[in-house]
């Protein structure tokens, strides 16, 4: 059976041109910082976002954790949305590895409000843990690919700097925000002290993320990556896939956004409660009258359509470069049938 896979935009496979770029990559030992393709990727990403230093990491979780742990000491506090990827999908890494306390607030579609944030921030004293860092997620995964307006990010940046703290962006899908809004990547980059971006989601590379940091963090960041088990040798083979993705797959994200809108419209016409997608993620509320999300997802699988049960009665559908209009129609039909009582 051929599957239509809408579980995530991480399921894509590299095409012939990307595979050729990877096969022909010039490589060296990246633990010695001697892999030329890795260095080219790091320099390219740093330049795109106007950041001083970038470090290639095997995963987005590692990229986020490097940024957090270099900014928040053990026993320090990180403030972020309650549904942020760092809290919901990173296996408590900040607490487990870094001894970092997280304090959260529920925000509409995952987007922190500066006024609410101002009430959360604490100044440390002998009796109170002070806030060291605030983190935002662009786009917000559990918010349905929601996009922070730059004006709100600017207000958050000003608030954070007014308290002499750092601001981190989990920018795994910031490429989608860039394409959806037309906001230049450098306009995002200038807002954050640290920033991570993913190459293996919408951009379609097989692996890898990049974390951007102040230049003075370079030696410690490399040490932290090594300590976490992320020191890879001839990693240029992976970096070449990331470089190809950046050069060829960013602007095409607009197609994924259009497919998401098509899919949302089809499901809305079938009487589903659908959150209007801003980028490439569609959230579908099933309601009490329908089977639960796990049941619907399993029924869809038997029809060759893969979707994520994202909550007891919530489905997540993610469009990507392997999803066309025909796949959207197939998925909508399968979900409609699977969700019948």
Do strands 314-318 and 308-311 pair parallel, antiparallel, or not at all (unpaired)?
antiparallel
Mean pLDDT for the chain? 97
- Is residue 126 over pLDDT 90? no
**What is the tens place of the pLDDT at every residue in 156-205?**
999 999 999 999 999 999 999 999 999 999 999 999 999 999 999 999 99
- Is residue 308 over pLDDT 90? yes
**What pLDDT is stored for residue 1 in this prediction?**
77
**What is the tens place of the pLDDT at every residue in 60-71?**
999 999 999 999
Question: 112-118: long-range contacts (C-beta < 8 A, 24 or more apart)?
Answer: 112/80, 112/81, 112/136, 112/152, 112/156, 113/152, 114/152, 114/155, 114/156, 114/159, 117/79, 117/156, 117/159, 118/159
- Is residue 307 over pLDDT 90? yes
**What is the tens place of the pLDDT at every residue in 274-287?**
999 999 999 999 99
**What is the tens place of the pLDDT at every residue in 238-280?**
999 999 999 999 999 999 999 999 999 999 999 999 999 999 9
- CA-wise closest residue to 41 among 298, 273, 242: 242
CATH class of 252-338: alpha beta
For the chain, the C-alpha Rg in angstroms (whole number) is 20
Q: Do domains 16-248 and 252-338 have the same CATH topology?
A: no
CA 274/CA 99 separation, integer angstroms: 38
CA 166/CA 156 separation, integer angstroms: 11
Give the pLDDT mean for 101-124: 95
Give the pLDDT mean for 2-15: 96
Contact 157, 192 (CB under 8 A): yes
| CA 317 remoteness from chain centre | 15
**125 band by pLDDT with thresholds 50, 70 and 90:** confident
Q: For residue 135, what is the DSSP state?
A: E
CA 88/CA 143 separation, integer angstroms: 12
Q: The pTM is what?
A: 0.96
Contact 7, 308 (CB under 8 A): yes
CATH of 16-248, one of 3.40.50.170, 3.40.50.150, 3.40.640.10, 3.65.10.10: 3.40.640.10
Give the pLDDT mean for 198-215: 97
Domain map (residue ranges) of the chain: 16-248, 252-338
**Which tokens in the block code for residue 302?**
């038997």
What is the share, in percent, of the chain residues with pLDDT greater than 70? 100
Report the half-sphere exposure of 21 (CA within 13 A, side-chain side): 20
């Amino acid at each position: 059976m051929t599957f239509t896979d809408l579980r995530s935009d991480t399921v894509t496979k590299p095409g012939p041109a990307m595979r050729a770029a990877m096969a022909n990559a010039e490589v060296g030992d990246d633990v010695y910082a001697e892999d030329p393709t890795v260095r080219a990727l790091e320099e390219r990403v740093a330049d795109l976002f106007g950041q001083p230093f970038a470090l290639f990491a095997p995963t987005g979780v590692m990229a986020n954790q490097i940024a957090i742990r270099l900014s928040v000491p053990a026993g320090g506090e990180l403030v972020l949305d309650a549904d942020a990827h760092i809290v919901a999908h990173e296996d408590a890494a900040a607490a487990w590895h870094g001894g970092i306390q997280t304090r959260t607030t529920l925000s509409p579609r995952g987007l922190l409000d500066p006024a609410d944030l101002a009430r959360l921030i604490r100044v440390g004293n002998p009796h109170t843990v002070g806030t060291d860092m605030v983190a935002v997620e662009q786009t917000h995964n559990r918010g349905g690919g929601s996009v922070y307006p730059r004006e709100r990010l600017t207000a958050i940046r000003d608030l954070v700097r007014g308290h002499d703290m750092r601001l981190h962006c989990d920018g795994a899908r910031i490429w989608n925000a860039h394409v959806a809004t037309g906001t230049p990547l450098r306009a995002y980059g200038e807002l954050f002290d640290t920033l991570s971006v993913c190459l293996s989601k919408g951009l379609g590379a097989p692996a890898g993320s990049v974390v951007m940091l102040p230049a003075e963090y370079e030696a410690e960041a490399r040490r932290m990556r090594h300590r976490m088990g992320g020191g890879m040798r001839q990693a240029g083979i992976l970096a070449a896939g990331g470089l190809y993705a950046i050069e060829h797959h960013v602007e095409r994200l607009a197609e994924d956004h259009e497919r998401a809108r098509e899919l949302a419209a089809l499901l809305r016409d079938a009487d589903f409660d659908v959150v209007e997608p801003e980028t490439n993620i569609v959230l579908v509320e099933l309601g009490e009258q329908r089977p639960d999300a796990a049941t619907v997802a399993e029924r869809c699988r038997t029809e060759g359509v893969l979707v994520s049960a994202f909550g007891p009665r919530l489905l997540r559908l993610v469009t990507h470069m392997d999803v066309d209009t025909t796949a959207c129609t197939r998925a909508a039909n399968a979900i409609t049938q699977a969700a019948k009582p």
